[in-house]
Chain A
């Protein structure tokens, strides 16, 4: 410490005469300084004049200097399976973005629905939202997080809250969480996690994005109120052909207890879908597809559902919305059941017989949107029940109103008729719940990011 102080004092002593000399201005120095200031003033005037001239006329385009290329991704060699397997550091990406910027998008969609119907329908739970008749409730408040994980994969996480039972607390659950590997060879992608299956057109559409207040009857009867949502793997293949075809194959647990319910990869649920697309000129477009889901029920019996879908849109050139949209799907269920019989009359089922039940149903919906803010349409449902005998049909006219792209209100009337052999509850009270009239209403909003809707 003492040595350091000594060095400091010596330095000050040595430098002080130099500093003193510098601080003593002479007449020559002052003149030089004045000349320098005058020169700088002239330069400033010249630059100002030039700037004024440039501002006075529109600048002509010129090749100019190339823009900075530092941020441009460097050429990469082809991606090999080894690249995909190599561990990476996704969080390192944060360093390359500014503070306060997220690495993914966040969006919230809110969907509130309500319905008014008869007391007898409420008692029997026979409405479009069973157990929620004559109520207005949050059906789906969805928090979506989506973005790239790294250059090779993307991810989506959706957390849903909603009132599932009458006047109960809101339930929060994981609706979807999956990652997609984007750089696999031969035009394939692999999605893994929990997802809404791409089975038919409407199954993968979330409640707030549906073009109707409720899911079509056939989809609810065959796949449950929430549709087919499974945990597993789904691969898509888009071959390099002159026309569009997407082939999809999946392996899942089979947790859907309406249609399957085996819940094991030992006897998994297999899914498949093929879809194509026809563009008839610039205004007309048609998408066609066929799906299959084949697994086992909780009784270890085979269950297969086949699906066919079609969607047509007429969108006059330059329109911001389609004028006419027609959507239809048909499902055919091939399912085996254990049917027990009490042969000796002791009240205990002692023989079981395997019985096949083949059921089907379909819907067809048409919508006209003459103005950007308003659309009206009607949907017709016809469906058998996969387990119970009987069938139901329904007709649902509706009108939608969008004050803006992010806010929508919808009003619908639905008339349903069921045959006498259906669920016992519908036969209560002299079968009064077999004919249902409902007034449905819906309010939906989007906050923040929301990905564009596919066709």
Chain B
């Protein structure tokens, strides 16, 4: 018994230093569930915050594996910013394992970024799992819609200012500067997509509706039979037929989804499968909020021409 304990303690001592991250002590330690919120918090918080994201851009934010390393990030957090609308409800399990009262539900260190968002696709009738993995509170993929950024960043400023009231002006100044840059980029994106306005696209997973609406594009169908349910051969055949009939040129696919299947369907329909960054960092060169949107807008415009 004693030998076993010594071996275990020795293993911990060896392994510990391998993990040690550099954390500045005077900064607000913020953890976000998804990288889009990290990117926006970085913009708003500037040098006053140290931000980490639980999910990576290449992952599926619906179902993250709850690793103890997530609990470690949360153990040290002053603030947890979650997407809400049941996209990242897995975070609750990690929070419970982190033993950090600052970020439990209802605590001042917990922010739901969806507060104030005008949610789309809210089911108007009773929903159940026969409809697939539906979100009863509405479509939760609002974070990469630039039109929602003012609301999300306002929520972030409010949350940060609760922990550091003296810095509210600094956070607000950062926010205004970021929104000014976003405004400029928005004009550029609107101009880029102007020639293809009204074009129909097929999406793999129904997570693009906010962005498509923003730029006047139309979601004609989803490759998933129902949300989260893999497509049946009959459904794929229907989609291919629809794409041919309606001359749909683009099938949008998320980096974490089955890109090969999307490519096969698009090829069959004479269209193009376009991998867009479903979150910041989802594809190479999309490490900031504006960079991710730049990539998505340019890729869409190019494929739709």
Contacts and interface: CB of A to CB of B under 8 A. Distances in A.
Interface of A: 57-64, 66-69, 71-76, 79, 148, 151, 154, 180, 182-184, 187-189, 236-238, 240-246, 274-279, 282, 285, 287-288, 290, 306, 308, 313, 315, 317-320, 322, 372-373, 404-406, 447, 451-455
Interface string B56-93: 10111001111111011001100000000000011011
B32 to A, nearest CB: 17
Given A68-B116, A187-B100, A317 B75 contact: no
Contacts of A406: 129
Given A60-B187, A240-B75, A277 B18 contact: no
Contact of A451 (B58, B93, B106, B176): B93
Contacts of A242: 16-17, 19-21
B68 A246 contact: yes
A310 to B, nearest CB: 11
28 contacts: A57-B190, A58-B214, A68-B115, A73-B108, A76-B107, A79-B101, A148-B106, A183-B107, A184-B101, A238-B75, A240-B75, A242-B19, A243-B19, A244-B75, A246-B68, A276-B11, A278-B15, A285-B69, A317-B59, A320-B60, A404-B129, A405-B228, A447-B129, A452-B63, A452-B89, A452-B90, A453-B66, A454-B97
Given A246-B97, A404-B228, A405-B133, A277 B183 contact: no
Given A244-B71, A317-B58, A63 B176 contact: yes
Contacts of A74: 108
Given A189-B99, A236-B99, A61 B149 contact: yes
B183 to A, nearest CB: 5
Interface residues of B, number: 74
Given A73-B106, A151-B106, A455-B68, A58 B190 contact: yes
B285 interface: no
Contacts of A278: 15, 18-19
A71 B158 CA distance: 12
Given A243-B19, A452-B89, A238 B99 contact: yes
B179 interface: yes
A151 B115 contact: no
A322 B93 CA distance: 19
A290 B8 contact: yes
Contacts of B272: none
Contacts of B18: 243, 278
A243 B65 contact: no
B230 interface: yes
B190 A454 contact: no
Contact of B99 (A59, A64, A188, A372): A188
Interface string B140-179: 0000001101110011001000100000000000011001
A180 B175 contact: no
Binding site of A, secondary structure by majority: helix, strand, loop or mixed? loop
Given A79-B101, A308-B4, 16 more contacts: A58-B214, A59-B214, A63-B176, A67-B155, A68-B115, A73-B106, A73-B107, A76-B108, A238-B97, A246-B97, A282-B56, A290-B4, A318-B255, A320-B256, A453-B65, A455-B65
B58 to A, nearest CB: 4
A60 B229 contact: no
Contacts of B16: 241-243
Contact of A61 (B72, B183, B216): B183
B68 A244 contact: yes
A376 B231 CA distance: 23
A455 B147 CA distance: 36
Given A62-B150, A242-B16, A72 B158 contact: yes
B304 interface: no
Interface string B181-192: 011001101100
Interface in B90-140: 90, 92-93, 96-101, 104-108, 110, 115-116, 129, 133
